[in-house]
Amino acid sequence: MKPKYVILTLIFSILLSATVMVLSNNLLAKGVTTDSSAYNLPIVEKVFYLGGEKIRFLIRNPNDQSGVLYFNMHDNENTSVAATDSLLTRANGKFVELKYKGNRRVGGFTMDKKQFLFDPNRIYTDLGIYKTLQMHGTYSVEAKKQVKLFSEFIVDSLLAEAEIIVAVHNNSKGYSIEKYLPDSAFHDSAEKVHYNRNKSPHDFFYVNEPEHFEYFKEMGYNTILQSKNPDDDGSLSVYCANRKIPYINIEALEGHFAQQLDMLMLLQKFLKDRN
């Protein structure tokens, strides 16, 4: 290549990378990307093969020793990933993100060619695995066995060292704190509900320890305290209640990047103040 073209190529690639940076920063501001590379966090990938399906786990700060573990298990809930990545530029913690085709549900075929389809937040108890496979019309003994191995991989390998588990989720229309109010669908799952109507009903904390409930309530945030005997739907909150692991779900409307980051920062403040 002639020197003139080398220089032109160089200028072009500098301009291109600058454009990419500006674009990705804009996307991050809107909270719609999962491009954690923009934050330069150390990251490792672990892979689990379920039947023939490749399920990836991207782990930020894999060597973190703080005991605080963030977990995003629904691959279509991207604001929570961007908010958690942003938090980790200024706070400790390990962050595990499940990656599967951008879908909420994981599906495919087990070894014996039987189909499976399930919600990855319904697989942390035996009954939960049974129910979620049944609900998606894919229950078989083999499918249940395979999904159980997958859930054991998550809790024994990825979540094992956590002293506190922080699930990060996003919701859309149809799911909010109002579902936990008296006469609503999930009222029985809640011991206490603090609903601040000045905030979006879609943005709320869901916790299993009274101490956490009182703190977030005191700070004026929407908060739900899980009942002591929650319905066994196989969700991670039920698993944590059974194992006495402190569990906090930080739930926000998809697109509520600033709100979710604010809630993550509040949890940081709580953890700092407590120590």
| Contact set with Zn ion (CB under 5 A) | 74, 77, 169
The CB density around residue 200, as the number of other CB atoms within 10 Å, is 15
CB of 104 to Zn ion, least distance (A): 7
CB of 170 to Zn ion, least distance (A): 7
Cα–Cα nearest to 180, from 137, 130, 237, 131: 237
CB of 233 to Zn ion, least distance (A): 13
- Looking at this protein, which amino acid is placed at residue 101? K
Distance CA 271, CA 250 (A): 15
At 3, is the secondary structure helix, strand, or coil? Answer: helix
- For Zn ion, the closer of residues 56 and 104 by Cβ is 104
CB of 86 to Zn ion, least distance (A): 19
Cα–Cα nearest to 141, from 170, 120, 110: 110
- For Zn ion, the closer of residues 74 and 110 by Cβ is 74
- For Zn ion, the closer of residues 169 and 212 by Cβ is 169
Place of tokens 């958690």: 84
The CB density around residue 272, as the number of other CB atoms within 10 Å, is 9
Contact present, 83 and 32 (Cβ < 8 Å): no
- For Zn ion, the closer of residues 36 and 121 by Cβ is 121
In sequence order, what are the residues at sequence separation of 6 or more whose Cβ sits closer than 8 angstroms to the Cβ of residue 142? 110, 111, 112, 114
CB of 169 to Zn ion, least distance (A): 3
CB of 85 to Zn ion, least distance (A): 17
Q: Residue 218 belongs to what H/E stretch?
A: helix 210-218
- For Zn ion, the closer of residues 109 and 175 by Cβ is 175
- For Zn ion, the closer of residues 100 and 110 by Cβ is 100
CB of 77 to Zn ion, least distance (A): 5
β-pair type (53-60, 94-99): antiparallel
Cα–Cα nearest to 261, from 218, 175, 203: 203
